[in-house]
Structure 1
Amino acid sequence: MKINQLKFGIYLSYVSLFLTNITNLVLTPFIIRNLGQSEYGLYTLIGAFVGYIAVLDFGLSNTTVRFVAKYRVEGNKEEEERFLYSTTIIYLIITAIILVIGTIIYLNLDAIFRNSLTVSEIEIAKIMFIILVINLGLTLPMNLFKGIITAYERFVFPRLLTIARTVLRAIVVLILLAFGYKAVAIVLVDALFNVAMMILSMLYVFVKLNIRIKRHKLFFSVFKEIFSYSSLIFISVVVDQLYWRIGHLLLGILASTSEVAIFSIGMVFGQYFITFSTAISGVFLPKITKMVVKNATGEELTDIFIKTGRFQFIILGFVFGGFLLFGKKFILLWAGPNYGISWIIALIVMLPLLIVLIQTIGITILQAKNMHGFRAFAYLIISFINVFISIYLVGKMGAIGAAIGTSLSLFLGNIVAINIYYQIKVGLNIPRFFKEVFRGLLPSLGISIAIGSILLLLSDTTWLTLISQCVSYTFVFIIFIWYFGINKFEKNLIKKELRKIKRSKN
C-alpha cells in the first residue's frame, strides 16, 4: 500500500515536535544536575559558539528544495544534476572554510575566554569545540541530502529518522549521565548521531531515490542563481543567530559559565513560547496568496490579520499569564534553586514576543506580496544594533543585561520598524489591528492574572501545589475569555470545531 507522504509527514512532524519538547523538558534538568551550573553553562556556550560557524550553510538546504522541486516539475534531469553537482562543490568549499575557521578559533580559545573561564574549563571547551567543528564540517553537506528528500516529497523517512534520533539520544544521554559522564560525552554522542543520520540520508538518496550527482560543466549563471535565492535565507539565519545566541557568547567572554547557564535556561522558555504561535499562521499562506492575486485591499488583509492575531493572543496570553504567575516556581522545581533569575530573563524576552508572535501572519502576507526583503534587511540591521547594546548591558548587568538587549532589539525591529512598514508600504491598518485584537481579550487576561495571583498565597514549592495552581488559573482564564473576551464569530468557530471532534469520536 502506497503511503500518503504528505499526510503522514504532517502527523509525524507533530509527533516529532511533541517528542522533542518532552524529551528536552525531561532531559534538561538531568543534564543540569549532573553537569553542575558551571559545566552546563560551558556546554551551552560552546554549542552557541559553533552555531555561528554553522551559518556558513548560506541557506543552501532550502535552496536545494526549491530548485530540485522546480527541475522535477519541468522534467529537466540534466539541470537537476548540474545543480546538485554545483551545490556539492559549494558544500565542499564551505567544509574546507569551516575547518580553517574552526582551527583558527581553536588556537585562540585561550585568548577569547581568558578573562571568564578557568584553565580547566578552557581545556574542556577545547575538546568540545574541536568535536563540534569536525562534526559540523562532516555533516553540513547532509543538508543537501535533506533538501533532495524534501524536494522529492518523501516526508515520512526524514521525520521517522528525527523521531528515532530524539528517542535514542535521550536514552543514551541518560545512561551516560547515570554512569557519571559529563559534557564532552554528550557532545560526542550528538556528533555520532549526526554522522549516522548523514549516512542514512545519503543511502536513502542514492539507493531509494536513485539520485546521482554527476559531473557537469559548471556555469557562473548557476552559482549566481543559487546565491541570489539563498541570500535572503542566509540573512534570516544570521539574524536568528544574533537574536538568540549572542547573549550566550557575550556572557561567555565577558562574564562566566554560570551566567551563561542562567541565561540559557531563561532563553529556553522564550523558544518554547515561540512554538505556541506557529500552529496557526503557516496554514494561511495559500489563502492569503489567493487574496493578493485577486488584489485584496489592505483592509481585507487587515481583517484576516486581526482574526488570526486574536486566536494567537488567546493562546499566547494564556501561556504568558501562567508563566508570569507560576513560572518561577516551575523553574525552581525543574532546574534547581540556582536558576530563579532565569524566570526574570524569560519574562523580559517573552514580553515583546507576545506582540511579535500575534503578528506572524504578517510575515505570510509579506511572502504572498513578495515584500519580505525589507523585513530581512531591517532585522539584520537591528540584530547588529543588538550586539552593541548587549555588549554594554552584559558588562553592567550580566545575564539580565543580555536579556534586555535581546528584548530591545525585538521591540525596535520586530515591533516598531516592521509595523511602520506594514502601515505605510503594505497597506495594513495597524492601529485597527491592535485595537481589535486587544478588545475584550486584554482585560480578560488582566483579570485572570489578578485572580490567579491570589493562588500565589499557596507558597508550597511542590509539584502538586504547582499543578493545582495551574489548573485553577486555567479554569479562571477559560471563564473570563469565553464570557468577556471572545466575540460571537470566535465562539461559533470554537463550537464548530468541538462538534467535529465529538463526531469523529462517535
Structure 2
Amino acid sequence: MTLSLLRNAFSNLLGAVIPALVALGTVPLVVKGLGDASYGVYSLVTAIVGYFAVIDINVTAGSVKYIAEFNAHQDRDRINETVFFGLSVYALLGVLGGLGLFFGAHFFVTRVFSVPSALVGEAVATLKLAALGFFLGQLQSYLNSIPQSLMRYDIASRIEMVFGTGVPLLTVAVLMLGYGLFEVILLRVLTSAVNCAVLWRCIRRLLPDLAWRKPGAAIRRELLGFSAYSFLSRFATLSYAYADKLIIGALVGVTGLAYFTVASTLANRILSLTYRLSGVLFPAASALAARGEMERLRTLYLKASRYVVFINASVLVLVAVFSYQILYYWMNPQFARAGQVVLAVMALSQFIDSLTSLPSLVNDGMGHPRFSGMFALARAAFGLVVVYLGVDGWGIAGAAWGHLIASVLLTCAFLAAVHGRTVPARLGDLARQAYLPSVFGVGLVALLAAAGNRLFDGGPLDLILLVLLTMALLFAWGMLFVIEKDDKDLAWTRVKGLLSMRKTV
C-alpha cells in the first residue's frame, strides 16, 4: 500500500474518530438535558430528515469518480462543468426536500408517529426548522466530496474534525444554559451554514481556476448515468438506516426509540469508522482502472480487505462482549438493561455489513454501480420487512435481530455476485487471504473474553483489566498472523527513521 494512500486513509479516519468520540461522550449529557422522551423526539426528527435524503440521486459518487479522472488528465474545463452541475443538482434537491419537510411537519408528528401531546408543538416547530438544515446539509455533503475526489482527504477531514467536535460540545452548552430541542436544532443549522462557507473557501484554493461553466450533454450523461444506479444504493442505504427508527417510533413509542437509538448509534459509529479507512479506495480504484493497472488494484484490494476485516472483527469483540458494561457506565443501568442485546446484535450486524464496503467501492470505481445499487435495494426491501416483523413481535430487540438476518443473507449474496465479475479478485482468494487470518484468532479471543466477563465481574477494575487483556491478545494475533511482513518492515523502517531524526535534533 502506497504511503500516499495510507496518509489519505488515516486522515479520513482521523476526521471521523475524534468527532465520533466527542459525540458518543456527550450523548449521556444530551439525553439528560433533553429527557428520555424529548431525546426520542430528537431521534425521530433526525430520522425523518435523514429519510428525506433518499431524494438525493447520488451525483456525489459520480462527481468523485469523474473529477478524479479529469484531475489526472488536468482537464480543468470538465472539472468546472462537473462541480457546477453537482452544485446545481444538490441545491435543487435541498429546496425540494426542505419544502416537503416544512409543509409536512404537522402531518408527520401528529398523524404518523406516536409523540406525546405535550411535545407535539415543539416537535412540529423543530421539524420545520430542520427543513432549512436539510437544504444546507445537501450542499455540505456535495462540497465535502470535492476535496476527497482530488485526494485531499486531509483538508476534508480537518474541517470535519473541527465541526464534528464543536457541534456536540456546543449542543451540551446550549442544554446547560437551559435551552431545549428547538435551540439544539437551530445550533446545528447555523453551524452547517458556516461549514458550507469554509468548504467553499477551501475548494477555491484547491481549484484556483474554478469558474462557472455550463455542463455539456456529455458530462450530464456520464454523471447521471453513473449516479442512476449509485442512487439505488444510496436510496436503499438511507431508507434502511432510518426506517427502523420510524417503525419503532410508530409501533413502540419515543421512549423505546431512545433506547434503541443510543445502542444502535454506538454500534454504527464505532464499526463505521473503518469505512473511513477504506473510502479512499474509491477514487484510487477509479484511477487504477482507468490506467489499466488491474493486478495492482487486485493486490491493493486483497491487502486492504485483510486489514479492515481484522480491525472490524477486533472492534466487534470489544463491543459485543462488553455491551452491558459499556451502556451501564456510559449511560445508566436502565439503558444497559434495555439496550444490551440491541448493542451486541447490531454490532455483529454492522460487522457483517462492513464486509461489503471494500467490494462496493472497487465495484463502483470500476464503473459498475448497477451491481451494488441493485443489491443494496434488495437488502433494504428484505431488511425492512424483517425489521418490521421483528419490532411488531419482539420490540427493539426484534429490530436488531431483523437487521442481523438481512445482513447475513444479502452480504453473502453480494460477495458471491461481484467477485470475479466486477471486482478483480476471486471469492476464494478473498476468503483465504483476508478472512481466514482473522476469523480463527479473533473468534478464540472472543470466547476467552466472554468467559472472563462471566467469571470476573468484580467491578470497574476487573473490567478495565479484562478489556486491556483482550486488546493485548488481539494486538498480538494481528502482529503475528495478520500484518504482512513487507508492511511490518516498512513500518519499522519509518519508526527507525523518526527515532534517528529525533536523536539528530
Shared topology, TM-score over 0.5? Answer: yes
Partner of 1:60: 59
Tell whether 2:377 aligns with 1:373.
no
Q: 1:424 to 1:232 in 2, by over 3 A?
A: closer
Q: Which residue identity is paired with 2:15? A: S
| The 10-residue stretch of structure 1 (155-164 or 276-285) with the greater mean CA deviation from structure 2 | 276-285
Q: Which residue identity is paired with 1:28? A: V
Once the two structures are superposed, residues 411-446 of structure 1 have per-residue CA deviations (whole angstroms, 9 ceiling, x without a partner) of: 222223432443677685435643565556434334
Q: 1:313 to 1:152 in 2, by over 3 A?
A: closer
Q: 1:309 to 1:178 in 2, by over 3 A?
A: same
Tell whether 2:464 aligns with 1:474.
no
**Could you tell me how far 1:133 is from its partner in structure 2?**
0.8
Q: Which residue identity is paired with 1:192? A: L
Q: Which residue identity is paired with 1:231? A: A
Q: CA RMSD in A?
A: 3.9
Same amino acid, percent of matched pairs: 14
Tell whether 2:273 aligns with 1:275.
yes
Q: 1:325 to 1:84 in 2, by over 3 A?
A: closer
Q: 1:310 to 1:8 in 2, by over 3 A?
A: closer
Partner of 2:34: 35
Higher Cα Rg, which structure = 1
Q: 1:35 to 1:280 in 2, by over 3 A?
A: same
In structure 2, C-alpha distance between the alignment counterparts of 1:455 and 1:14, rounded to whole Å: 30
Once the two structures are superposed, residues 202-257 of structure 1 have per-residue CA deviations (whole angstroms, 9 ceiling, x without a partner) of: 455569966676485x7665543432232233222212212322211111122211
Q: 1:274 to 1:150 in 2, by over 3 A?
A: closer
Partner of 2:119: 121
Partner of 2:447: 450
Tell whether 2:314 aligns with 1:318.
yes
Would the aligned equivalents of 1:6 and 1:155 in 2 still touch at CA under 8 Å? no
Structure 2 gaps of 5+ residues are: 501-505
Q: Name which of 334, 338, 343 aligns with 2:334.
A: 338
Tell whether 2:502 aligns with 1:505.
no
Tell whether 2:346 aligns with 1:349.
yes
Partner of 1:105: 104
Q: 1:314 to 1:129 in 2, by over 3 A?
A: same
**Could you tell me how far 1:385 is from its partner in structure 2?**
2.0
Partner of 2:186: 188
Partner of 2:92: 93
Would the aligned equivalents of 2:81 and 2:212 in 1 still touch at CA under 8 Å? yes
Secondary structure in 2 matching 1:293? coil
Q: 1:501 to 1:88 in 2, by over 3 A?
A: closer
In structure 1, C-alpha distance between the alignment counterparts of 2:440 and 2:145, rounded to whole Å: 46
Partner of 2:325: 329
Q: 1:461 to 1:410 in 2, by over 3 A?
A: same
| The 10-residue stretch of structure 1 (391-400 or 494-503) with the greater mean CA deviation from structure 2 | 494-503
| The 10-residue stretch of structure 1 (207-216 or 261-270) with the greater mean CA deviation from structure 2 | 207-216
Structure 1 gaps of 5+ residues are: none
Once the two structures are superposed, residues 372-417 of structure 1 have per-residue CA deviations (whole angstroms, 9 ceiling, x without a partner) of: 4212211112212222222222111221222222222222222234
Partner of 1:178: 176
**Could you tell me how far 1:163 is from its partner in structure 2?**
2.9
Would the aligned equivalents of 2:57 and 2:231 in 1 still touch at CA under 8 Å? yes
Tell whether 2:392 aligns with 1:395.
yes
Q: Which residue identity is paired with 2:272? A: I
Q: Which residue identity is paired with 2:189? A: A
Secondary structure in 2 matching 1:140? helix
Tell whether 2:257 aligns with 1:238.
no
Partner of 1:407: 404
Alignment of structure 1 residues 211-222 onto 2, 5 Å? 214=212
**Could you tell me how far 1:200 is from its partner in structure 2?**
3.5
Alignment of structure 1 residues 138-217 onto 2, 5 Å? 138-143=136-141, 145-147=143-145, 158-203=156-201, 214=212
**Could you tell me how far 1:475 is from its partner in structure 2?**
3.1
Once the two structures are superposed, residues 252-281 of structure 1 have per-residue CA deviations (whole angstroms, 9 ceiling, x without a partner) of: 122211221122122223321132365368
In structure 1, C-alpha distance between the alignment counterparts of 2:309 and 2:485, rounded to whole Å: 15
Q: Which residue identity is paired with 2:456? A: L
In structure 2, C-alpha distance between the alignment counterparts of 1:126 and 1:329, rounded to whole Å: 36
Q: 1:205 to 1:269 in 2, by over 3 A?
A: closer
Would the aligned equivalents of 1:263 and 1:345 in 2 still touch at CA under 8 Å? yes
Q: 1:198 to 1:495 in 2, by over 3 A?
A: closer
Once the two structures are superposed, residues 301-323 of structure 1 have per-residue CA deviations (whole angstroms, 9 ceiling, x without a partner) of: 5x876654443343233222222
Q: Which residue identity is paired with 2:54? A: V
Q: 1:221 to 1:124 in 2, by over 3 A?
A: same
Partner of 1:384: 381
Would the aligned equivalents of 1:266 and 1:342 in 2 still touch at CA under 8 Å? yes
In structure 1, C-alpha distance between the alignment counterparts of 2:421 and 2:221, rounded to whole Å: 32
Question: What number of residue pairs does the alignment pair up?
Answer: 493
Q: 1:433 to 1:151 in 2, by over 3 A?
A: closer
Q: Which residue identity is paired with 2:470? A: Y
**Could you tell me how far 1:97 is from its partner in structure 2?**
1.7
Would the aligned equivalents of 2:320 and 2:345 in 1 still touch at CA under 8 Å? no
Would the aligned equivalents of 1:355 and 1:415 in 2 still touch at CA under 8 Å? no
In structure 2, C-alpha distance between the alignment counterparts of 1:329 and 1:32, rounded to whole Å: 18
In structure 2, C-alpha distance between the alignment counterparts of 1:459 and 1:152, rounded to whole Å: 50
Q: 1:229 to 1:260 in 2, by over 3 A?
A: same
In structure 2, C-alpha distance between the alignment counterparts of 1:122 and 1:154, rounded to whole Å: 44
Q: 1:208 to 1:126 in 2, by over 3 A?
A: same
Partner of 2:503: none
In structure 1, C-alpha distance between the alignment counterparts of 2:258 and 2:123, rounded to whole Å: 15
Secondary structure in 1 matching 2:323? helix
Q: 1:446 to 1:26 in 2, by over 3 A?
A: same
When normalised by structure 1's length, the TM-score is 0.82
Q: Which residue identity is paired with 1:42? A: V
Would the aligned equivalents of 1:243 and 1:383 in 2 still touch at CA under 8 Å? yes
In structure 2, C-alpha distance between the alignment counterparts of 1:233 and 1:371, rounded to whole Å: 9
Secondary structure in 1 matching 2:272? helix
Q: Which residue identity is paired with 1:497? A: A
